[in-house]
Amino acid sequence: MHMPEKGRSWPEVKADLIGRGGNDAKWRDGRTAVYVFNAGEDIAEIQKEAYAAYMSENGLGPLAFPSLAQMEKDVISMALGLLHGPKGSTGSMTSGGTDSITMAVKTARDYARSKGRATERANVVLPQSAHLAFDKACHLMDIEVRRIPVKTDGSYEADAIAMGEACDADTVVMVGSAPNFPHGIIDPISALGSVAEEKGVWLHVDACVGGYIAPFARMNGVPVPDFDFEVPAVQSMSADLHKFGYAAKGASTVLFRTEELYSHMPFDLACWSGAPMKTPTLAGTRPGGAISAAWAVMNYLGVEGYRRLQGTVCETRQRIQDGVEALGFEVLGNPLLSLIAFRHPDHHAFAIYGEIYRRGWFTSVTKEPPSLHLMLSPKHAEVVDEYLADLAESLKTVAEGKAGEKVEARYS
Ligand SMILES: *Cc1c(COP(=O)(O)O)cnc(C)c1O
């Protein structure tokens, strides 16, 4: 597209704009189980109105916009309240999980260096199931990544012992996920905590996907193991508001056990011609709307609202779990929250993926082991039967050797 010489009217541009979504994944009707978190029309409206209310304001300027500074503080203290942050714990809002993870790794590295450790090349120790955002962060900072296979006992949990053995004097952080994305399994954070303590290594819990669902699932009676600051060795956490916090996109939280740990995060250097500019996270300009929308949704829902929505999500996962097992699929490990991955003993998951895709479902896959993958939102409660019927048809098509052309499942 060349920029038009003369602009067009807004009604014309708007019609064009909306029309462009015509070939996008159909998420409004619940047929997409990745990327979008559909908690209903009321939440969508609040996200938009609350975002628009502070869309022009900039989180870079807390002195100009004390409103945003206070909303961010409120969001962080609500987060710490849910995740057992002790007195003195603190954090910041970021643009997303990748940003939160990058800042946590950077903070852990700088903390280690402040103690005279990892002065040459730092390393981090991760379970193989941890998110690629850690590798991206480490690539940016020239940190070595040590990925350790998960347990082979069918639990898909991080192997705390093997991870401990992979730590050395240059290890700046060890990671557990709550839950991990590929399998939806919560790593044994207490066991990782014991190892981290023994080795004197910082433990980060990546609760990007679970941070705002696990606490409510637990209140609803789901047996969620200890995964947050309740485990004494956990020094930092990442938790995405734009996933199961149902906030507008561009909102996550990175949290630290103490002010002293946090103090290694902000960038505060005055070596330029401009006025001093202290930034807590990677971003300079920070969209005010992402802060106000998160604040508004959290206040609109409250504990009661989140418990209701997350109850629906967990029930939906259980219905899917029962349904796929009835079809002969094997569910990986023991998922407790919103993610589920499953495979069939006789037919390759990726062939089944192609068939369910052709039936209008935009879902995902896990590579190790090859499995179908779903990330469920409240909206999916309405389409469980439809999904299971299409899955049964897809399985039948594959079993009869009638599968169509291969469809490659990729994120991008
Ligand atoms: C989504 C996710 C991330 C990355 O978050 P983005 O917001 O996509 O950058 C990291 N870890 C886990 C477990 C996730 O599910």
| Nearest alpha carbon to residue 125 among 185, 181, 169, 85 | 169
**What H or E segment, with its residue span, contains residue 197?**
helix 189-199
Question: What per-residue confidence (pLDDT) applies to 407?
Answer: 87
Chain centroid offset of residue 205 CA:
11
Task: Report the pLDDT value the prediction gives residue 412, as an integer from 0 to 100.
Answer: 79
CA distance 264 to 104: 10
Place of tokens 């990748």: 98
Residue 371 DSSP symbol? E
pLDDT at 133 over 90: yes
Compute the Cα dihedral for 378, 382, 387, 388 and give only its sign. positive
The Cα–Cα gap between 168 and 65 comes to 44
Q: Quick check: 26 pLDDT over 90? A: no
Q: Is the CB of residue 208 below 6 angstroms from any atom belonging to ligand 1?
A: yes
Interior/surface letters 135-148, b for 16+ CB within 10 angstroms, e for the rest: bebbeeeebebebb
Tell me: the pLDDT tens digits for 271-285? 999 999 999 999 999
Cβ–ligand 1 contact at 181 (below 6 Å): yes
User: Of the residues 99, 243, 374, which should be mutated to test ligand 1's pocket, given the most ligand atoms within 8 Å of the CB?
Assistant: 243
Tell me which CATH code domain 47-298 carries. Answer: 3.40.640.10
pLDDT, tens only, 63-116: 999 999 999 999 999 999 999 999 999 999 999 999 999 999 999 999 999 999
Give the range among 142-146, 308-312, 408-412 with minimum mean pLDDT.
408-412
pLDDT over 90 (residue 409): no
Q: Are 150 and 126 in contact (CB under 8 A)?
A: no
Query: Where along the chain do its domains lie?
Result: 23-40+303-398, 47-298
Fold of the domain spanning 23-40+303-398: Aspartate Aminotransferase, domain 1 (3.90.1150)
Q: Is 133 in the pocket of ligand 1 (CB under 6 A)?
A: yes
